[in-house]
Amino acid sequence: MNSAELDQLLTTAAGAADPAGGFGYLDEHGARTPGKVPETWIGARMTHVFGLAAAWGRPGAVELAEHGRRALTGLLHDDVHGGWWPDARGGGTKQAYVHAFVVLAGSTLSRVGLPGGDDLLDDALAVWDGHFWDDDAGAAVEEWDAGWTSCADYRGANANMHGVEAQLAAADALAARGDDARAAQLRRRCLRTAERLVGEARARDWRLPEHFDAFWTPQPEYNRERPADPFRPYGVTVGHQFEWARLVAQLGTVVDLPAGLADAPGELYRVAVERGESPDGHPGFVYTLDWDDRPVVPARMHWVMAEALAAAAVLGPLTGDPRHGADHERWSNLVELLVRDPRTGNWHHELTPDGQLGHTTWTGQPDAYHVAQALLLPRLPVTSSVAESVVRAVG
């Protein structure tokens, strides 16, 4: 697991650790941006990544994972109302997207056996259960005010997708602690959420709607005027088709997928490739498509390529279909040609269709999570979470 590429990525990512707490925002040169307030979603992702690295004994990873854990239990935590702020300034809303990554961080620390991991996971799950999980809907609500008194009407597929990822990881961690009943409950939740959202995609020839109202009615025109939004873009998000394909496939390793989901990984993967790869004649995947499969935001986002590679790495062993291996090789070559920054080991977070640095949605290289998982998954046994796969691989 200690390949040169992964090693360079993690060396750069370590520089994001802010002495004041949490992880900062790395710029295009891999340096922490002065004055940029540490954000909770980045901190939780980095804690997850360094928790994984600690499992295979990377020097300094335990300390970096602990640095992240301390921020999540201190600087970034709301000690009055519970839950986590969006960033280190305190204040603001309580967001499902952010909390899903805190659950993921706690799950990883718990599963790899790092101190404090069990407590962080238990605390994060208590907040998720108490405020975000809507059992009637079989999915999570999106956002509350700071004091948990008012819930926004918006419902989102993005936060729910990462909620599935986080709850699968939590289930693995809890099963390792002997809590099989709780693990089974979380996996059933993941199944319900996948059925709801992937079912919406199936009904639209595998075009996955991202935005819903409080009654889970799709809002296909949402953010048409802000199509390049980093978290809620208009239209079909190609990278999320790949992520759902991978997550449903991983879910299928621990539960029996019903007929309505059994073919979903293959179909979501297929349409992401057919509709999202090079529709404008340039290499790589566009960010978003409209409802007629035409590019809306043609920028090439690093995370979309990373999730394409991750999906191919998971679906290949599970299906035995050689096209996944061929896709993985082709895209890996493209990463080396265009996407990977040889100075940092990270990937350029946004490129224009012709391969130049873009800045429409993302600046810098703040996130190691997508790239680290894309580099790890081809080397690991397929399980329902990356942490579980790492632990099994290192024995």
* pLDDT tens by residue, the chain, 395 residues: 558 999 999 999 999 999 999 999 999 999 999 989 999 999 999 999 999 999 999 999 999 999 999 999 999 999 999 999 999 999 999 999 999 999 999 999 999 999 999 999 999 999 999 999 999 999 999 999 999 999 999 999 999 999 999 999 999 999 999 999 999 999 999 999 999 999 999 999 999 999 999 999 999 999 999 999 999 999 999 999 999 999 999 999 999 999 999 999 999 999 999 999 999 999 999 999 999 999 999 999 999 999 999 999 999 999 999 999 999 999 999 999 999 999 999 999 999 999 999 999 999 999 999 999 999 999 999 999 999 999 999 98
**Which amino acid makes up residue 15?**
G
C-alpha span between 319 and 304 (Å, rounded): 22
Tokens matching residue 297: 């935001």
pTM above 0.75, yes or no: yes
Which position among 211, 240, 324, 348 bears the catalytic label?
240
Tokens matching residue 389: 């796969």
Per domain, the residue ranges of the chain are: 4-394
Q: Is 370 a catalytic residue?
A: yes
β-pair partners for 323: none
Q: Is the CB of residue 121 less than 8 Å from the CB of residue 102? A: no
- Residue 361 backbone phi and psi in degrees, to 5: -115, -40
What Å distances lie between residue 198 and 28, 80, 105, 261, 345, CA to CA?
Answer: 35, 37, 25, 8, 34
**Which CATH number applies to 4-394?**
1.50.10.10
C-alpha span between 65 and 175 (Å, rounded): 22
Q: Is 81 a catalytic residue?
A: no
Instruction: Determine how many CB atoms are found less than 10 A away from the CB of residue 350.
Output: 24
Report the candidate in 115, 110, 123, 97 with the shortest Cα–Cα distance to residue 40. Answer: 97
